[in-house]
Structure 1
Amino acid sequence: MYPNDGFRELGREECLRLLATAPVGRVVHTRNALPAVLPVNFCLDEDGAVLLCTSAASDLARAVDRSVVAFEADEVDTDRNAGWSVVVTGRATVVTEPAERERLSRVGPRSWAPSPEEVFVRIRPELVSGRELVGGRTLYGVDLAP
């Protein structure tokens, strides 16, 4: 963190705690050699892995399986010029083990668009980073809050 830039770097545990409070995140992956971003609902597993639920036939499931992806979630308070952002980077895999699929069907997220054949996607958190905008302060020490 640079002094007086208004941002505070967040540690891994704080990042995961904040991430667990967000209802929606964005998964960043590659589609046709270009970056693609999709909003998704999610939850965190016991080990801090990000879990998604989607149709087995979805472009997302095919695009991310066994690929390195980024996952971002945030919270913004525009009235206070404050908020936080967390990014998880890691390998995404479609869960195929039957017992694990059964467990996730009980504790995992529900798809926004249910389909007859749903799969869970797990993103293992290899890199976790985050920062918090503290009270709308800028690099120049100017208070942005009204």
Structure 2
Amino acid sequence: MTPYSDPIRMLTEAESWDRLREQELGRLVTHVGDTIDIFPVNYAVYADGILFRTAPGTKLFELTVNADVLFEVDSHTDTEAWSVVVRGHATPLETSADVERAETAELRPWIPTLKRVFVRIVPTSVSGRAFARGAEPDRDGPQMY
């Protein structure tokens, strides 16, 4: 990378989905009234969306009040990093046929709790960025204008 290279690159939608498939832990952002919450969830890419499991509680309640969510996943190494954001609608699966299909994703809770509710995020948009990591540029040298 030259001193004038852009260390940020927009990912294509296909690249963003590839990155989502590489990971299994993301952050779900909900919004109800003046309250914005963020929850770590393990997930799977499933049927052109995101699938996670939960139990009755704050997260599930907030999704029933406002299904509009953000879902973010990121990762990094010493030389690069990336972040993908999914905007969409989260809905619990209700029919036994939908739940049976979701079971094939083999998505299991990370902690020993019962999480019987499958929730699917249907994306309205998917965007991602990749970042080249490195030292901060020289502040006193030539500057790009």
TM above 0.5, one fold? yes
Deviations 1:47-103 (A, max 9, x none): 2x0101011x122112113510000000012x32x2100000001101101101111
State the one-letter code of the partner of 2:63: V
With structure 2 as the length reference, what TM-score do the two structures score?
Answer: 0.82
> 1:58 corresponds to which residue?
57
The whole-number CA distance in structure 2 between the counterparts of 1:138 and 1:129 is: 26
Aligned length: 135
Preserved CA contact (<8 Å) 1:25 1:42: yes
How far the C-alpha of 1:124 sits from its partner, in A, is 0.7
CA distance 1:61–1:139, change in 2 (3 Å): farther
> 2:6 corresponds to which residue?
5
State the one-letter code of the partner of 2:50: V
* Other structure's SS at 2:123 match: coil
Preserved CA contact (<8 Å) 1:25 1:41: yes
Preserved CA contact (<8 Å) 1:5 1:139: no
The structure having more radius of gyration, on CA atoms, is: 2
Does residue 45 (structure 1) correspond to residue 46 (structure 2)? The answer is: yes
Q: Which runs of 5+ in 1 are unaligned?
A: none
Matches for 1:119-138 after TM superposition, within 5 Å: 119-136=117-134
Deviates more, 1:91-100 or 1:117-126: 117-126
Q: CA RMSD in A?
A: 2.4
Deviations 1:22-62 (A, max 9, x none): 12100001256221111110001132x0101011x122112
Residue 90 of structure 1, aligned match among 78, 84, 88: 88
The whole-number CA distance in structure 2 between the counterparts of 1:37 and 1:51 is: 16
Q: Which runs of 5+ in 2 are unaligned?
A: none
* Other structure's SS at 1:5 match: coil
Deviations 1:1-35 (A, max 9, x none): xx733100001111011011112100001256221
Preserved CA contact (<8 Å) 2:28 2:72: yes
CA distance 1:137–1:85, change in 2 (3 Å): farther
Preserved CA contact (<8 Å) 2:31 2:68: no
Does residue 69 (structure 1) correspond to residue 69 (structure 2)? The answer is: yes
Q: How many percent identity over aligned positions?
A: 32
State the one-letter code of the partner of 2:69: V
